[in-house]
């Protein structure tokens, strides 16, 4: 993942996924916001049929900067009943460590 924080604490960048249907060499647009130590960003995996969002905190321990996050990934579903809708959402947690 490559991030830059600009005016208004807007986060932009690219996300490279090594899991799921996304090809590890592919990159996907990323956008979000930072508020003090809180961060949230979304990634457009549309070419692979989904969108995802991460929210969490920036932390530093032992001189290492990390993002500790929870995520949700949503993909389109055919039906509209509640069970169909929840089958189209995945959730998990990720930690990202700054590479020098």
Q: What is the pLDDT of residues 6-51, one digit of tens each?
A: 898 999 999 987 776 656 667 899 999 999 999 999 999 988 889 9
Question: pLDDT value at position 83?
Answer: 81
The mean predicted confidence, pLDDT, of the chain is: 89
Q: With the C-alpha atoms ordered 27, 32, 89, 65, is the resulting torsion angle positive or negative?
A: positive
Beta partners for residue 45, in sequence order: 50
Of residues 78 and 75, more confidence is placed in 75
Question: pLDDT value at position 90?
Answer: 94
């Amino acid at each position: 993942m490559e991030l830059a924080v600009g005016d208004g604490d807007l986060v932009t960048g690219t996300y490279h996924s090594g899991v799921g249907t996304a090809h590890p060499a592919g990159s996907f647009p990323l956008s979000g916001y930072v508020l003090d130590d809180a961060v949230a960003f979304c990634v457009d995996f549309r070419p692979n049929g989904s969108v995802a969002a991460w929210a969490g905190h920036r932390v530093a321990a032992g001189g290492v900067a990390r993002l500790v996050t929870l995520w949700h990934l949503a993909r389109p579903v055919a039906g509209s009943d509640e069970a169909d809708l929840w089958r189209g959402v995945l959730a998990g947690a990720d930690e990202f460590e700054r590479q020098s």
